[in-house]
Amino acid sequence: MRIQRRPATARHPRAFTLIELLVVMAIVAILASLLGPALGRAKRQARKANEINSARQLMTAWQLYADDHNDRLLPGFRRGFQAKDDRGNELVAEVAARYPWRLAPFLGNNFDVIYANENRAFLDQFRRLEDPTLGVYAASVYPSLGINSIFVGGDDELPPTDLAVSRFGDFCALQSTQIERPSDLMVFVSARAPLEFLPTPARPEGRIVNGFHIVKPPYLVGRNWAAHWDPADGPVAWGFVHPRYTGRAVAAHADGHVDSPGLRDLQDMRRWANPANSPDWVLPGR
């Protein structure tokens, strides 16, 4: 009986050559280089969409606040107003001066709404602090979007007192009926700030947080911002405004709509102040 031998090719299957492996690796590297930026863009768009959703909910609460306060707008950063935490404790000083705890009742005390994306991790850290009063304080400092406090609701840096109005005119909108161009006037804008505003026991790791409770305008009595946007500059250089989406920020307007202005629009004072009539408008002296 003859035993048939298997062909040599069957006994020794053909392996990839070194050149073929290198070609495959090169193809994989090219595909990765093509997909990497696309995935990065998709992630940025997802984060932006999440922040836009937060901004819309903020504006709903902001409008409810005015409805509940006889058309008075939410104070931007003003001491002397009452606010309570989620346990009903009365808040004082700077915690009550900031907008988050004043707006919280109109958000169902859901701070997850105003701490978007990676900023949510900071909120979770604030909630885990052993001293709950520190957590309440910290949560009031770094919401993802800051309020245009000087020109909407008022800021103690330039309080809209009778003396200030007699000198500068009606620069600050205190009631919604005062707003002449609600589709232009920004109320909340993407923000960032250094962690130095927190006491040491409440300070998480890192130096800069994607969020702050206020944003400052590019002009007041003169130019306040740096001439050009540079991500390497500190947050103060652009008044805590953060165009973190490839040169664009999320902005919520007095009419309730949300958009993403670019660097040029962010510097246009007609989007900051009710009486502004030019991009480089400053407070008029009288």
Domain for residue 14, yes or no? Answer: no
Residue 54 pLDDT exceeds 60: yes
**Would you say 97 and 136 are in contact if contact means Cβ atoms under 8 Å apart?**
no
Most confident of 32-46, 123-137, 161-175: 161-175
Number of compact structural domains in the chain: 1
Looking at residue 222, its pLDDT comes to 93
Domain for residue 4, yes or no? Answer: no
CB neighbour burial string for 199-219, b if at least 16 within 10 angstroms, e if fewer: eeebeeeeeebbbbbbbbbbb
Q: What is the mean pLDDT of the chain?
A: 88
**Would you say 98 and 77 are in contact if contact means Cβ atoms under 8 Å apart?**
yes
Domain enclosing residue 97, as ranges: 48-271
Domain for residue 159, yes or no? Answer: yes
**Would you say 246 and 49 are in contact if contact means Cβ atoms under 8 Å apart?**
no
Tell me which of 40-49, 112-121, 168-177, 245-254 is least confident: 40-49
Domain for residue 81, yes or no? Answer: yes
Domain for residue 149, yes or no? Answer: yes
User: CA 149 to CA 186: how far, in whole Å?
Assistant: 10
Global pTM value: 0.84
Q: Per-residue DSSP letters for 18-62?
A: HHHHHHHHHHHHHHHHHHHHHHHHHHHHHHHHHHHHHHHHHHHHH
Looking at residue 39, its pLDDT comes to 65
Q: How many CB atoms lie within 10 A of CB 87?
A: 8
Domain for residue 279, yes or no? Answer: no
**What does DSSP assign to residue 175?**
B
Domain for residue 41, yes or no? Answer: no
Domain for residue 176, yes or no? Answer: yes
For the purposes of burial, counting CB atoms within 10 Å of the CB of 19, is it exposed (0-12), middle (13-18) or buried (19 or more)?
A: exposed
Instruction: Name which residue leads in pLDDT, 20 or 282.
Output: 282
